[in-house]
Structure 1
Amino acid sequence: MAPAREKGGPAVALAAFVFYPLTLLLAKRRMEGLEHIPATGPALLVCNHVSYLDPVYTAVFVHRARRVPRFLAKASLWKIPVFGRVLQGSRQIPVSRGSAEAGASLEAAQASFADDGVVVIYPEGTITRDEDGWPMAARSGAARLALDVDVPVIPVVHWGTKSVYDHYRRRFRPSWRTTITVKAGPPIPMDDLRARLADRGPRPLLRETTERMMTAVRELLGEVRGEPVPEVTRGTRGPESRSTEQ
C-alpha cells in the first residue's frame, strides 16, 4: 500500500490544479527516480537550474512522490498578487537576497525540516549562464543546510525546460517534440562531512560540501543528457559566498 499523501492544504491543491496540466501541455514529460524521495520525514533536494520553468516541474515531481515541496525562493515573488498568497499558503520559504535578513531563510528551512518538510533549493542561485546548460559554481546556502541538519540530501536534475523557455534569449517554444526530464538520484553521502564540522574551519568544509553536492548533480545530469560531464565547473560564482540566495 502506498503511503498517505502529505497534506498541503488549499494552496497546494490550487498549485497542483494549475501545474499538472501545464507540464503536460508544454512538452512531453518524463519523471524518474521518484523512489529516492523519502515517503516520510525531512529531506533536502538540491537541483540544477536551466530555466524558470524548473520549479513548476520540480513541484509536480515532488507532489507525484506524495510529498509537498517547500522552495527557497526570491522574497519579491511574495509581492505578486494571488501568486504571493499561494506561496504563503503553501509554506514556501522567502529569501531576502543581499540583506541582513538573508540568514532567516536558512532558519525557516531548518524549521521546515523539524516539521518533516521536503525543502527544495537551487544552489546556483539563478538559472545557469553556461552556454551548454551545465551547472555553474554554487553558493553556500545548500551546504550550510546539509551540514547543520541530519537529513537526506537528494540530487535532482531537469533537462529540456530551457528548450521550451530560454529566459536569456527571450524564447518560448512549447512543443510535444520536446521531452522534459526530471530525475532524482540516490542520497548523497554526508555523514563524514558532518562528523568533521567541529574539527575544521567552516569555509573549507562548505566548499567541499558544495562541490560534493554539485558533483552529484552534474553526474546525474550527464546521465540524463547521455553526455560526458565537463571536468571544470563553469561560471564565476563561488561556493564561498556568504549569500543564502536560492
Structure 2
Amino acid sequence: MPRRAPERRSGAVISVAQILLRPLARLLARRTWLGTENLPPRGAVIACGNHSGPFDAIAYGHLLQASGAAPRFLAKESLFRVPVLGGLLRASGQIPVARGTARTARALDAAERALQRGELIMVFPEGTYTRDPHGWPMRPRLGAARLALRTGAPLLPIACWGSAALWPVGAVLPTPIPRAQLTLRVGSPIVPARREGETETQAAARLMAAVMGAITEMLAEIRGETPPSAVHDPRQDSHRPEEGWA
C-alpha cells in the first residue's frame, strides 16, 4: 500500500494494537469485504455503520485500516472511564460522547475539527446496539448528517452482518466456536446538500434516511432476507440507556 497521507495514518497506539487485533479478528471470523473501492482515497469522510454488537468497533476498524484510512470513532464516554482502555482510547485520538449532557457539543466540535483536517470519523447513527428484534437498523439520530452539512464531508454507508453472532450483546467475551462469518459492505458515498427551502434539521433527516436506507438495502443483500416495512423507533422503547446525540 502507498504511504498514507498524515490525516489517514493510525498513530503509534493503533499501530501497536493492530499487531494483536488483526490476527485475532482473522482467527475469530471468516471475513468478507465488499465495495471497498467506494472508500474515498483522501479527504474528510463520515463513515456510518449499523451497530449490532460489541465486536463492531473491531470489525469496522479492521476494514477501514486495511483499506487505507485510520478511523476516529465517536464512542460513549463511559468507555473512556474504563482503566487502561480509556487511556488507550484517548491516546489514539478517539472522541468521547457524553450522551444526554451539555458536553455532547464538545464531541461535535472535536469531530468537526477532525473533518476539517481531512480525517475519517466513524459513527454509529443508531446511538446504541440495535433493539430491532431481528437485528435490522433502527431509526437513526441526526448528528452525522449535521456534521456532513456543516463540513461538506460525504456520508459513507457501511453494512456489517455477523458481529452479533460472534460477540452477542451482554456476553463478556466473543464466542469463537463455531467460527463466525463476518461480512461488511461499503456503499457509495452520499454527498450532503440542502435543498431549496429545507432547514438543517429537514436536510439532516433526509440524508440520514438515505444513509440508513442504503445500509438496510446492503444488509438485505448480505442476509438474503427482506427487511421490515417499518423501521424500529427506539424513542418508543420504555428503556433507552443511550440518550444523547451519537
Q: Which residue of 1 aligns with 2:198?
A: 200
Distance 1:26 1:185 in 2: 25
Distance 2:35 2:235 in 1: 29
Shift of 1:68: 0.7
The farther-off stretch of 10-19 and 125-134 is: 10-19
Q: 1:174 aligns with which of 173, 176, 180?
A: 176
Q: Is the 8 A contact 2:48 2:157 kept in 1?
A: yes
The farther-off stretch of 45-54 and 136-145 is: 136-145
Change (3 A) 1:177 1:91: closer
Q: 1:219 aligns with which of 197, 217, 220?
A: 217
Q: Is the 8 A contact 1:15 1:86 kept in 2?
A: no
Q: Is the 8 A contact 1:26 1:176 kept in 2?
A: no
Q: Is the 8 A contact 1:103 1:244 kept in 2?
A: no
Distance 1:87 1:171 in 2: 19
Deviations 1:173-230 (A, max 9, x none): 2235421111111112433xx344xx33333333222211111111111121122232
TM-align CA RMSD: 2.0
Q: Is the 8 A contact 1:188 1:216 kept in 2?
A: no
Shift of 1:235: 3.0
Deviations 1:60-104 (A, max 9, x none): 111001111100001121122222222112111110111111111
Q: Which residue of 2 aligns with 1:124?
A: 126
Q: Is the 8 A contact 2:112 2:147 kept in 1?
A: yes
| 1:230 equivalenced with 2:232 (yes/no) | no
| 1:188 equivalenced with 2:187 (yes/no) | no
* 1:10-89 pair list within 5 angstroms: 10-89=12-91
Letter in 1 for 2:215: V
Distance 1:171 1:16 in 2: 19
Partner SS, residue 166 of structure 1: coil
Distance 1:33 1:102 in 2: 32
Letter in 1 for 2:51: H
The aligned length equals 237
Change (3 A) 1:209 1:13: same
* 1:148-159 pair list within 5 angstroms: 148-159=150-161
Q: Which residue of 2 aligns with 1:144?
A: 146
Q: Is the 8 A contact 2:145 2:155 kept in 1?
A: no
Partner SS, residue 237 of structure 1: helix
Change (3 A) 1:39 1:125: same
Partner SS, residue 234 of structure 2: coil
Letter in 2 for 1:3: P
The farther-off stretch of 227-236 and 67-76 is: 227-236
The farther-off stretch of 134-143 and 74-83 is: 74-83
Deviations 1:128-179 (A, max 9, x none): 0112110011112112112212112110111001111111577842235421
Q: Is the 8 A contact 1:140 1:244 kept in 2?
A: no
Letter in 2 for 1:219: E
Q: Which residue of 1 aligns with 2:135?
A: 133
Q: Which residue of 2 aligns with 1:4?
A: 3
Partner SS, residue 104 of structure 1: helix
In structure 1, the gaps of 5 or more residues are none
Q: Is the 8 A contact 1:137 1:233 kept in 2?
A: yes
Shift of 1:31: 1.6
Q: Is the 8 A contact 2:146 2:200 kept in 1?
A: no
Q: Which residue of 1 aligns with 2:245?
A: 245
